[in-house]
Each structure stands twice: as structure tokens, then as C-alpha cells.
Amino acid sequence: MNFASESAQKLRAPSIRHFSGEWVGKQETLSAPLTGQYGQSGTFSSTYEKLKEQKFPGAAVCSRPKTSLQPSIIRPSGAVTPLRPAFRNQKRMISVSNVTMRYGSKVLFEDVSVAFVPGRRYGLTGPNGSGKSTFMKILTGELEAQKGSVVRPRKLGVLRQDQFAFDAYRVIDTVIMGNKPLWAALEERDRIYEKPELSDADGMRLGELEGIIGDEDGYTAESDAAVLLDGLDIPEDIHERKMGELQGGQKVRVLLAQALFGKPEALLLDEPTNYLDLDSIHWLQDFLHSYDGTLIAISHDRHFLNSVTTHTADIDYQTIIVYTGGYDDMVMAKTQVRSTLESQNAQREKKIAQLNDFIARFAAGTRSTQVTSRRKEVERLQTNDLARSNIARPYIRFDQVRPSGKHVLEFKHLTKMYGDHKVLDGFTANVLRGEKICLMGRNGAGKTTVLKSLLSNYPGLADKEFELDNGAVFWGHEAQIGYFPQDVGATIEHGLTVAEWLHRWNPQSHVEEIRGILGQMLFSGEEGDKQTKALSGGEQARLAFCKLILTKPNILIFDEPTNHLDLEAINALNIALQRYEGTVLLVTHDHDLIDEVATRLWVFKEDGIEDFQGPYEEWKGKHN
């Protein structure tokens, strides 16, 4: 094979943007070693020149004048494309310097400088509303910090907290959207082609867009995306489906494919384990273990963090500190540092109190020099108050306006097909007042489908697009349902404050009651005047609980309520559900919750639904 001339050919093709040897490029790989160091004046250009001469005699490639540190490819059109200064094995760090972010009087973090080193896997931790998603958006550039700067690699793969954002798109398109410039060019091209008549300007623009699409490997995008999806176990028949039709486990895989599309140097994942069953979480853990770029993952799942991460960046006390090790290591180190700091502070305060005592006693007397020197000492010792931790526990208590009748619910022969796939096959049961039923089973087993079926004739809560294929549902006397759907964020309207939104659910209630409920759920003072649109994932869930505390239904139907919640809130919810006197239907993968709340289980298995009339402990005993 005539390597030189073939490569020269390739380099003349307009779709080639990056020269590569040890340099990272898109298509070619040169075996000749490049020994210069980026940043060393002259070396880079001259090494490049030499290599060019050896490998590409006569190619349409040249470097800029030697004074320039950045060589380039000159395209047939005359356009100059600078070469990317990144070594193949030298992925670039993500680093932030002196970054500050605050909303109103709430400081999320101040003057933070952190570097995320390639090859390490970071957990980004902190309670709900501490600023994890905000920090991640600053890292990706989606949000500008109020102060400070960020250095990031050219390509980052991102999985956002809102896993429902792409529900209206095809799976394959969702993956391709991972390459933003490409997706924008494809969309613009489609828009131009839709016009009834094309102007000259349109024609010109189409030419430019084809250039971008070529540069971004757009002509192989669908097949590249399909290969990625296959690798993540998403079968081909799903590629054309809408994201909204997928269940949690599949959705996360597609969003991961999106993040990986375009070969990013770093992966940033915001709560990737939400909506995943245990098997899928284990799969994700293995997958991330073998990822060799920089990983930053936000999660409230302790086990997941401990298994995956090598370092932990914790947001608390208005700053971000990086600890070595997983979540548990971080908690241990943090507690130690904190208690040393607190005991030093206590000693200092004791000393200040003694000095002040002396000053008070002798200020008016004759020992003025001693008093002055002690005053100075006090000034020196006076410490700023330690920043307060933002870890706090909400107080959740669900009451009922009045109890329902004894026979809460009766349903028969629930049957539901999705295409050829029968998810429910004649499920029949009765539910009595006060029962707490946990629905457990793998992703896609039909848990949400059962809940949707039960709500399919209930005014105000029925999903309009959902239709049962067969079966009948009867709700008993005085049944009042409080529903917490999987996508609870979508039930919170934008354009209102938190307090206004809550008040709408019971306009008769007094402002004090509204403020009281908000306060116990950690929206005190200014937090209650926050716009609903600004809420973090966990805050949305907390606000949805506020609504149930206010409206006091006698049946609670919860679909994975602990996703997005921090440990404190999950605990508070656990206790509230145990104490609740009404009836509960709860879908969750959280075994502690199942263990402590359930009085009855619906276990979704390959061969149907097992209706087990007893707690989890008993069920486990029977099945082991």
C-alpha cells in the first residue's frame, strides 16, 4: 500500500480536519513518532514539518510560519484548519479557578478552584439543592459562573439530570444530538429543504452545512450511533422508537450513548442511576469501570459511588473539597476534619470569653495597657463563624382529611399490550384500607403500567395517552388519591413562586399554613419565593410532597419517589410512610424502604405478578 500517497489523498479531502500522528485526529493515524512538546516554541512546528516531509511529500498540507505554535491543514478551498494540540494519551484536565455562584442570598460555592484529572473517576456529592447540577453546568459551559474561569477539553459527554427531556425524539436521533454542531447543521439543512423554493443564499448555506456535516462525520452518523447502541445492548428494533416509549433502564443506556457519541475526553453524568433497577446499576458500574477518560458522576446512591469512584468532590460549607476515595471515605475524612476544626474553634471561643471577661472587669480601671493588649488579642482570635453545613433533614408527615372506606380498590383482568409485547396479563386483586403495597421488579416489568392502569379512570390523574386493553378498576367509597409520578418535575408548572404553586392546591388555606409546610420541607423564608423553574431535582420532589402534606389524601400512589432525593430526605420519607394511616402503593428499588414500609408485595417476575401478603423479610425467607 502506498501509504504516503493514500494519506495525501485523504488529507486533500475536505472532510479531514485534524492531522494526527501522536496528535489526536479523526481518521488517520500516523505511526511515525512525534517528539515535541506542545508549548515549546519552535519544536512543535519543526517536528511537524519533518514528519510532513517524510510522510506526505507533496501533500496539500503545510504548517503556518514557524513563529506560530499551531500548525494547520490548508484545504483545497484555501481554508485553514488549525491542528488540535492534544496528545493521544494526554487527555486534558477539566479545571475551574476561583469560581463563585450564588442565587440571591444563598451562596452555593465561593472562590472554588478544583482540577479533575484524566483517568480518575470522581463522585460529585452534596445534599439536594447544594449546587451539584449547577456546578456540572458550569463545567460543561451551559451556565456561566458569576466569577472565575473554567478550562475544559474540546469534547465533553454529558448526561443531564432530566431523563425525560428527549421523550419526543427518536432513539437514534437522541444519540446523534450528542454531537451538537452536527445536529444543529442537520436540523438547519432539513429546514432549508422544507422551503418551497430555494434562494441563492439558501444554496450557499446548504453548501456550508454540507461542509460541517462532512467534517463532523455526519454521513456515517446513523451507523456510528447504531454501533454505539448495539454496544450498550439496545436492540435494533428500538432504534426508531421514541424515547418516551422506553423504560428507565433503556433510556439511561441511550442517554449514555448520546454522551459517548463523538468520543468525548470526559464523561459528566448527573444522577445516572435514577430509574435503574439493581441489575442495570451493576451493568453501569462495570461500564464506568472500564471508561478511561475523566469521569464526574453526581449521585445520591452511596453504594454506586463507593463502587465506581476513585475520588469524591463534595459540595458543602459553601465550597468544594476533593477527597481521595469513594463516598464512605469522604464522609469519614470530612467528619474528622470538621471535628478538629470545631474543637479548635471551641478552644478559641473559650479564650475569647476569658479575655472579654477581663476587659469588662478592668476597662474602666487603671490597667488600661493590659486591657488594650487583650482587646488586640481578641481581635486576632476572633474567627469568622464556621460556614454552616447545608445538610438538613426535612420533616414529612402525611395526614388524611378523612379515611377512605374499608374496601379501597378492586380490579380485575388488567391486560396491557405494547405492540406485540404483553406487559400485563389479567392481573386481579383487592386492596384494603391501611395496606402498604410495594411493587418490586426489574426495569420494564410493568410496575408503572399497573399504576397507570389503576389511574386510567380516575379524574385528573389519568394519563390521556394510556389505554387498557382489558380489565376493570373500581375505587371504593371516599377514595382520594395523592399521586407522585416518575416524572414529577413535569407536574410543577413554571412561572410561579414555590409558595404560589403550593397555595393553588388549596386556595382556602392560610398563608401561615403554606409557609409552615414549606418551612418543614426546607423552603424557609426566601426559598419559598423562588421560581418553580429554578428548582433542583430533589427540590421538585420535596415540593411535590408539600402538595400531599397540604391536600391530605387517603391513598398515596408513589412511582419511584426516592430518585433525586438525598439521604436525609429518603429517611424522612421512609418514616412518614411508616406512620401514614392511609393506603400506600409504592414502586421503588430501594430495599430499605421496601423492608420497612411494605405490609404486602406485588413482585413482578418473568411469569407474572406474585401477590405476597406479608412483609419483605418474610418474602425473602420464603424465596431463599
Interacting residues with Mg ion (CB under 5 A): 132-133, 161, 536-537
Interatomic CA distance for residues 72 and 79, integer angstroms: 10
**Closest CB to Mg ion among 272 and 471?**
272
Distance of closest approach, residue 134 Cβ to ligand ATP, in angstroms: 3
Q: Give the torsion through C-alpha atoms of 326, 328, 333, 335, to 10 deg.
A: 150
Distance of closest approach, residue 567 Cβ to Mg ion, in angstroms: 15
Distance of closest approach, residue 493 Cβ to ligand ATP, in angstroms: 16
Interatomic CA distance for residues 286 and 303, integer angstroms: 13
Helix axes 278-289, 248-260, angle to 10 degrees: 20
Q: Give the torsion through C-alpha atoms of 117, 121, 122, 128, to 10 deg.
A: 150
Distance of closest approach, residue 236 Cβ to ligand ATP, in angstroms: 34
**Closest CB to ligand ATP among 131 and 264?**
131
**Closest CB to ligand ATP among 108 and 371?**
108
Query: What, of Mg ion, ligand ATP, none, does residue 25 touch, CB below 5 to 8 Å by kind?
Result: none
DSSP secondary structure letters along 350-369: HHHHHHHHHHHHHTTSS-HH
**C-beta nearest to ligand ATP: residue:** 538
Is the CB of residue 379 less than 8 Å from the CB of residue 533?
no
**Closest CB to Mg ion among 131 and 615?**
131
- Applying CB under 6 A, among 224, 314, 539, 559 the residue interacting with ligand ATP is 539
Distance of closest approach, residue 498 Cβ to ligand ATP, in angstroms: 9
Of 327, 330, 272, nearest in space to 305 by CA: 327
Q: Provide the 3-class DSSP secondary structure of residue 320.
A: strand
**Closest CB to ligand ATP among 440 and 565?**
565
**Closest CB to Mg ion among 132 and 503?**
132
Rg (CA), the chain: 30
**Closest CB to ligand ATP among 22 and 539?**
539
Q: Provide the 3-class DSSP secondary structure of residue 52.
A: helix
What 8-state DSSP symbol labels residue 214?
Answer: H
**Closest CB to Mg ion among 137 and 189?**
137
- Applying CB under 6 A, among 91, 530, 589, 600 the residue interacting with ligand ATP is 530
Query: What, of Mg ion, ligand ATP, none, does residue 301 touch, CB below 5 to 8 Å by kind?
Result: none
Distance of closest approach, residue 535 Cβ to ligand ATP, in angstroms: 5
Q: Which of 91-99, 168-176, 499-507, 527-535 is the region at the interface with ligand ATP (rule: CB under 6 A)?
A: 527-535
Helix axes 567-579, 537-551, angle to 10 degrees: 20
Query: What, of Mg ion, ligand ATP, none, does residue 318 touch, CB below 5 to 8 Å by kind?
Result: none
Interatomic CA distance for residues 564 and 275, integer angstroms: 10
Interatomic CA distance for residues 228 and 109, integer angstroms: 37
Binding flags for ligand ATP, 156-195, as an x/- string (CB under 6 A) = -----x----------------------------------
Q: Is 416 left (phi over 0), alpha (psi -120 to 50) or beta?
A: beta
Interatomic CA distance for residues 63 and 49, integer angstroms: 7
Distance of closest approach, residue 311 Cβ to ligand ATP, in angstroms: 18
Range 559-578, binding ligand ATP (CB under 6 A): 564
Helix axes 221-231, 248-260, angle to 10 degrees: 130
**Closest CB to ligand ATP among 130 and 404?**
130
Q: Is 522 left (phi over 0), alpha (psi -120 to 50) or beta?
A: left
**Closest CB to ligand ATP among 17 and 300?**
300
Binding flags for ligand ATP, 124-163, as an x/- string (CB under 6 A) = --x-xxxxxxx--------------------------x--
**Closest CB to ligand ATP among 130 and 588?**
130
Query: What, of ligand ATP, Mg ion, none, does residue 131 touch, CB below 5 to 8 Å by kind?
Result: ligand ATP
**Closest CB to ligand ATP among 10 and 106?**
106
- Applying CB under 6 A, among 537, 553, 582, 615 the residue interacting with ligand ATP is 537
Q: Which of 121-129, 341-349, 401-409, 432-440 is the region at the interface with ligand ATP (rule: CB under 6 A)?
A: 121-129
Number of residues that bind ligand ATP (CB under 6 A): 19
Query: What, of Mg ion, ligand ATP, none, does residue 274 touch, CB below 5 to 8 Å by kind?
Result: none
Q: Are strands 294-298 and 266-270 parallel, antiparallel or unpaired?
A: parallel
- For residue 588, the number of C-alpha atoms closer than 13 Å in the C-beta half-sphere is 29
What Å distances lie between residue 551 and 79, 402, 504, CA to CA? 65, 11, 11
- Applying CB under 6 A, among 34, 269, 450, 535 the residue interacting with ligand ATP is 535
Q: Are strands 481-484 and 94-103 parallel, antiparallel or unpaired?
A: unpaired
Binding flags for ligand ATP, 479-518, as an x/- string (CB under 6 A) = ----------------------------------------
Residue type, 494: H
Range 349-388, binding ligand ATP (CB under 6 A): none
Q: Does 318 bind ligand ATP (CB under 6 A)?
A: no
Query: What, of ligand ATP, Mg ion, none, does residue 134 touch, CB below 5 to 8 Å by kind?
Result: ligand ATP
Of 511, 582, 517, nearest in space to 546 by CA: 517
**Closest CB to ligand ATP among 61 and 99?**
99
Strand order in the sheet with 319-324: 156-159, 266-270, 294-298, 121-125, 311-316, 319-324
Where does residue 290 rank: exposed (0-12), middle (13-18), buried (19+ CB within 10 A)?
exposed
Interatomic CA distance for residues 152 and 96, integer angstroms: 9
End-to-end CA distance of the chain: 63
What Å distances lie between residue 549 and 397, 460, 468, CA to CA? 7, 18, 31
Distance of closest approach, residue 562 Cβ to ligand ATP, in angstroms: 12
Interatomic CA distance for residues 481 and 267, integer angstroms: 41
Distance of closest approach, residue 541 Cβ to ligand ATP, in angstroms: 8
**Closest CB to ligand ATP among 95 and 497?**
497
Distance of closest approach, residue 124 Cβ to Mg ion, in angstroms: 9
Query: What, of Mg ion, ligand ATP, none, does residue 128 touch, CB below 5 to 8 Å by kind?
Result: ligand ATP
Query: What, of Mg ion, ligand ATP, none, does residue 280 touch, CB below 5 to 8 Å by kind?
Result: none
- Applying CB under 6 A, among 148, 178, 482, 538 the residue interacting with ligand ATP is 538
Binding site for ligand ATP (CB under 6 A): 103, 108, 126, 128-134, 161, 530, 534-539, 564
